[in-house]
């Protein structure tokens, strides 16, 4: 097995994204199981393979673009590019084709837009699509998990939140709605953390002191 293939299948076994330490151990296991060589320099070889095969790296060989590095999330966290496919769009939002034109006009108002930035997809992959609040994940027919990324300080005016991992929390659709609508406070102790992704306490404070009170204020109007 080629080295890049070993790294690819190791990452696949690890659920798509993992810290380097776990990748080294899994590559070793994969290669031993295949009767392939496991030199002393295995860690260096694996690091090079990740970089050679990733357009995120300045050492990219421009042949295959298999891996992504999660810049800004934490050094030494790598993932399979195929694991950050965009989430499926809601079927009730797809334009109707002429053949199934409705007999009556349906008025659709979209209140909540689910933003799926590339960074959000990387962070979701890092959490293997599990809600950081309740642990839930929706299993899609193609075997992938489904979850959503919430920008704690909302993107755009007037909040101008950032699209950085420190401002992103991975949640199930229920918790996403509750956070969007200011229906719950965020407490650090209730949030599941994974290596390489730290949520900023300033974002959490913003949610609790600006978003939630604003929602309550609107409710009283
Ligand atoms: Zn949840």
Domain boundary among 52, 84, 116: 84
Q: In the chain, where do the E strands start and end?
A: 17-19, 67-69, 77-80, 138-139, 145-146, 148-151, 168-171
Across 29-42, average pLDDT: 95
Whether residues 124 and 47 fall in one domain: no
Residue 40 has pLDDT above 60, yes or no: yes
Residue 206 CA to ligand 1 centre (angstroms):
20
Give, as residue ranges, everything with CB less than 5 Å from ion ligand 1.
131, 133-134, 136, 172, 175
Whether residues 115 and 165 fall in one domain: yes
Whether residues 134 and 208 fall in one domain: yes
Task: Look at the chain and report how many structural domains it folds into.
Answer: 2
Whether residues 213 and 150 fall in one domain: yes
Give a yes or no: residue 63 inside a domain: yes
Residue 176 CA to ligand 1 centre (angstroms):
7
Residue 115 has pLDDT above 90, yes or no: no
Residue 187 CA to ligand 1 centre (angstroms):
14
Domain boundary among 54, 84, 114: 84
Residue 57 CA to ligand 1 centre (angstroms):
34
pLDDT of residue 166: 94
Residue 96 to residue 149: CA distance in whole angstroms: 27
Give a yes or no: residue 205 inside a domain: yes
Residue 127 CA to ligand 1 centre (angstroms):
13
Do residues 132 and 169 make contact, with C-beta atoms less than 8 angstroms apart?
yes
pLDDT digits (tens, 9 = 90+) for 120-178: 999 999 999 899 999 999 998 888 889 999 999 998 889 999 999 999 999 999 999 99
Whether residues 124 and 53 fall in one domain: no
Whether residues 17 and 73 fall in one domain: yes
Give a yes or no: residue 91 inside a domain: no
- Residue 102 makes CB contacts below 8 A (sequence gap 6+) with 96
40-44, 66-70, 91-95: which is most confident = 40-44
Range of the domain at 169: 106-220
Residue 5 CA to ligand 1 centre (angstroms):
35
pLDDT of residue 85: 80
Give a yes or no: residue 92 inside a domain: no
Give a yes or no: residue 125 inside a domain: yes
Residue 31 CA to ligand 1 centre (angstroms):
37
Give a yes or no: residue 137 inside a domain: yes
Whether residues 111 and 79 fall in one domain: no
pLDDT of residue 220: 72
Whether residues 121 and 23 fall in one domain: no
In this predicted structure, which of 23-32, 101-110, 208-217 has the lowest mean pLDDT?
A: 101-110
Whether residues 129 and 208 fall in one domain: yes
Residue 135 CA to ligand 1 centre (angstroms):
6
Whether residues 50 and 19 fall in one domain: yes
Residue 174 CA to ligand 1 centre (angstroms):
6
Residue 37 CA to ligand 1 centre (angstroms):
43
What value does the mean pLDDT of the chain take? 88
Residue 139 CA to ligand 1 centre (angstroms):
14
pTM summary value: 0.79
Q: DSSP letter string over 22-37?
A: HHHHHHHHHHHHTT--
Residue 189 CA to ligand 1 centre (angstroms):
15
Give a yes or no: residue 47 inside a domain: yes
pLDDT of residue 180: 92
Whether residues 111 and 77 fall in one domain: no
More confident residue, 208 or 109: 208
Domain boundary among 28, 50, 84: 84
Residue 98 CA to ligand 1 centre (angstroms):
37
Give me the count of residues in the chain.
Answer: 221
pLDDT of residue 171: 96
pLDDT of residue 168: 95
Whether residues 77 and 147 fall in one domain: no
Burial of residue 42 (number of CB atoms within 10 Å: 0-12, 13-18, 19+): middle
């Amino acid at each position: 097995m080629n080295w890049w293939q070993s790294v690819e299948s190791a990452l696949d076994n690890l659920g798509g994204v993992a810290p380097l330490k776990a990748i080294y151990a899994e590559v070793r296991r994969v290669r031993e199981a295949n009767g392939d060589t496991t030199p002393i320099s295995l860690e260096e070889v694996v690091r090079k393979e990740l970089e050679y095969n990733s357009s995120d790296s300045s050492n990219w060989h421009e042949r295959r673009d298999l891996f992504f590095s999660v810049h800004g999330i934490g050094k030494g966290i790598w993932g399979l590019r195929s694991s950050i496919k965009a989430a499926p769009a809601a079927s009730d939002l797809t334009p109707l084709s002429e053949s199934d034109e409705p007999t009556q006009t349906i008025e659709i108002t979209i209140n909540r837009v689910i933003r799926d930035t590339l960074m959000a997809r990387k962070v979701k992959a890092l959490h293997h699509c599990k809600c950081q609040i309740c642990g839930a994940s929706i299993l899609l027919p193609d075997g992938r998990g489904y979850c959503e990324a919430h920008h704690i300080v909302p993107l755009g005016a007037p909040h101008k939140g950032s699209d950085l991992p420190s401002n992103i929390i991975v949640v199930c659709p229920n918790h996403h709605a509750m956070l969007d609508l200011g229906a719950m406070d965020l407490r650090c102790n209730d949030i599941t953390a994974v290596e390489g992704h730290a949520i900023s306490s300033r974002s959490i404070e913003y949610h609790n002191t600006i978003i939630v009170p604003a929602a309550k204020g609107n409710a009283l109007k």
